[in-house]
Structures are given as structure tokens and as C-alpha cells.
Amino acid sequence: MIRTAATILFCFFMVSAYGQNKVADLKVQGNKRTKTSFIKKITRLKAGMDLDSSLIAEDIYRLKRLPSVSHAYFQVFPAHEEGQYNVFYGIEENFTLIPFASVYTSNNDEFAFRVGLQEFNVLGNNITLGGFYQRDVFNSFGAHLRAPYLFSNKLGLAISYQDLITQEPVFLDNGTADYKYNNEAFEILGLYEINFRHRVELGINFFTEDYQYLFGTTDPEVPQTLNVNKYLYKFIYNYDGIEYYYQYLSGFKSTLNFQYVNSANEQLPEFAIGFNDFAYYLRVGQKGNWASRLRLGLSSNLDTPFAPFAVDNNLNIRGVGNTIDRGTAAIVLNTEYRHTLIDKDWFVLQSNVFVDGGSWRNPGGDFSDFGDDQNLRIYPGIGIRFMHKKIFNAIFRIDYGHGITNEASKGIVFGIGQYF
């Protein structure tokens, strides 16, 4: 690692010292499945340009973020002609055909799971194609395609389809009811990269929501059957300032997601929802990583049992249970310290200690609900990560969270990939 860092510093010094010299050729080495033409398409340095250290650094940063790349580096060598230099971009590739699975307990304590398969480098162009099957009392499935550089080095497309059926709790004033909930949706998004740190996504989602009452409390003002066609406009703005070095992250990232939802049923009002995830990562010594995520969410404050922000094991609070409450606004903070215990050529064993906390605004309530101890949840816990360094996102995580606030629960959460 020290030798690599010294080489990079030397190359940067040479590039800076001879900044007015020219690039004779840009060569790519180490890539087997990722096409050289694709790498040259998305990188900015081209033959004939001035040798520019900042441009090279930007290209290496961009390459490290690709699903097909586990690590990237550069080298600079003099060419035959004076004042001309050959630049080499070195690629260490990931294995990108990845199965995934998650196992959890549904809200009625029945065994549930989701399995799927994703290829992150279709045709050697970093196109993602995947699908899943889920069994959570009922059968569900979905598929998606994401091609961020389909049309150019800035413009791409994403499409997805899902038929998701779950048993969902609906929280009424006088108790809880369980509904069979079916969400069938088709989505298409345009993807645009402003620059290597800023991206936007814009598109539309057509979906049908079907609620069928199963059992539990009833309310004459809450329908026992509901089927409605809806559509939503979606806007996502992503700023990514994260520096990647294998399993270690450092820097800041922000993702804004805004949706405007309309309905074909005039009895169901239109509403808006938006949330922003702020993430910050800090290297601690040689083997430590401190990671934090803050989510701020707000939606139209409709007095409905179908509020959009859920309190859930797999989304925000580890150990809390599966969809135990809902709200129309949310503040959630997740923070954890990750420490590498074993780091081999291909395998990493990592431990973590975390605290998840959050509070919600009740449907139709006000912002003082955030201070209500019935809405506040704090769950400290511990976890472990098993990682394969040469397979993209091959992180199997196990977390145990134990609540310390009112009516707290405890539980184990399994999953693929870091929690955030």
C-alpha cells in the first residue's frame, strides 16, 4: 500500500511538473470483461490533450465507482517523441454476476425471504440487469435494467417492473388491522450525469395499489377493500463525494428523492413526499471506518393509516421489527464504527458497533410528535460483516439491535451489502 501511494505521488509530481506536455496515447490494462471502449468512453482524458493531473484523478475516481471495478490506478511513461507521454489506466475487476438473499420475519412472525440475481456488467458496459423472487406470506417478483451510459458518457436509462404482495399492518385509532397489499408498478427514469460527483434522475412510475382486509380491528371510515391506479413523478439528485479504497470509505454523500403522487380515484387526494439521505464516512487509523447516515423525510400530512414513512428493520432501525409504525415525517440517524478484523487478498472480516435512532410525525399530527416518547426509538447493537473483495457488493451482514426506549424489542437483521 505504501509503495502504491508513493508511485501515485511520483506520477502526480511528474504530471504536474510537465503539465504542458501532451498525451500520446491512453491505454487500459487489467480489464477482462469490461470493454476498453467503454472505459475510454466515460473517462475524460484523451490522446492529444495536455497532461492534466486533476483530470487523471477525476477519471480514476470515476472508475473506482463502477460496479465492475474493485480498484483503479494510473501510470505515466514517456513516449518516443519528446514532450509526449503514454498514460495507462490500470483496472482490478470485480466479479459482477451476484446472487443475493435476505431472510427475515414478517409482521405475523412467519418466515420470509427474498432471493435474486443481478449482473452489474452486461455486455462489458456496466449495465445492470437483475430480478428477484420474494415469499412473505404471498409471492412477489420484480425485474430491473439500469444503463447509466446507454446513450453517451452522461445520459442513460433505467426501467423496472415489480409485482409486490405483502401482509401489511394498518394502524387505526382503536387498534391494528392486517391487509393484503399488492403494489404492481412500472417505472422509467432518465439518468443524467452533470459531472463525476453530481447526478440527476427524472421519470414516471405507473402503479396500482390494491388493499384487501384480512383480519383485525375495523373502522367504518377505513375501507376494507381498495383498488386504485396511481402515477408518480420522481426526481432524484445525488451528490457523491466518497473516496473508495476497497472496503474503506471516506467523504460525504447526499441523495435527495422527491415524488409527486396522483390518483385516478378522486376520493384519494394527491400528495407529495420528499426525503434526503446525508451520509458521512471517516477513516479511523488503518483498520477503522466511522459511518453515519441522517435521513430527513417529509410528506403531505394526510390523516391516513397508509402513511408513507415506515419504522422497519430493513429500512432504518435494526432490531425494531417489520413495519411496526408509520408516519408522515421522519428523522432517522444511523451511526456505526466498522473495524477490520481480518484482511486477506480476497476476504475481509469486519465487526461493527452501531446506534440507530429515530422519531416520526403521526399521520395528521404536528412536529411536536417528534418529541413524543411513543414515537422515539433508540436501538444500539453489534454486527459482523463477511466480505469478498473481488465480487461487487459481496458483503453478508448480520446485525443484532436491542431497543432502550419505551416498549422496545430486539432482533437480528440479515442482509447483503452494508446497511448504508
| Helix 2-17 with 53-64: angle, nearest 10 deg | 140
Average pLDDT, the chain: 90
Residue 22 has pLDDT above 70, yes or no: yes
pLDDT band at 5 (very low <50, low <70, confident <90, very high): very low
Confidence (pLDDT) at 267: 64
What DSSP letter does each residue of 372-409 carry, written as one string? -TTT-EEEEEEEEEEEETTBTT-EEEEEEEE--STT--
pLDDT category at 3 given cuts 50, 70, 90 is very low
Per-residue model confidence (pLDDT) at position 2: 41
What is the average pLDDT across 209-218?
92
Mean pLDDT of the 41-55 span: 94
pLDDT above 90 coverage of the chain, percent: 69
CB atoms within 10 A of CB 13: 11
Query: Is 122 or 323 the better-scoring residue by pLDDT?
Result: 122
Burial 302-330 (b: 16+ CB within 10 A, else e): eebbbbbbbbbbbbbbbbbbbbbbbbbbb
Q: Which cell goes with 202?
A: 427524472
For the beta sheet containing 84-93, the strands, ordered from the edge strand earlier in sequence to the opposite edge, are 22-29, 84-93, 69-78
pLDDT at 250 over 80: yes
Residues 141, 202 contacting (CB under 8 angstroms): no
Confidence of residue 13 (pLDDT cuts 50, 70, 90): low
pLDDT the model gives residue 316:
93
Task: Take residue 406 and report the three cell numbers written for it.
Answer: 419505551
- Rounded distance, CA 319 to CA 332, Å? 14
- What is the pLDDT, as a whole number, of residue 105? 58
Residue with more model confidence, 70 or 385: 385
**Which residue carries 468512453 as its cell?**
41
Q: Could you tell me the pTM of the whole model?
A: 0.83
One-letter amino acid at 227 equals N
For the segment 366-382, the average pLDDT, to the nearest whole number, is 94
Q: Is residue 360's pLDDT more than 80?
A: yes
| CA 383 to chain CA centroid, nearest Å | 19
| Distance separating alpha carbons of residues 360 and 309, to the nearest angstrom | 8
Task: Classify residue 189 by burial, with Cβ atoms within 10 Å: 0-12, 13-18, 19+.
Answer: buried
pLDDT digits (tens, 9 = 90+) for 287-337: 999 999 999 999 999 988 778 898 888 889 999 887 778 899 999 999 999
pLDDT at 168: 83
What pLDDT sits at residue 151?
95
The pLDDT of residue 280: 98
Relative to beta strand 243-245, strand 225-240 is unpaired
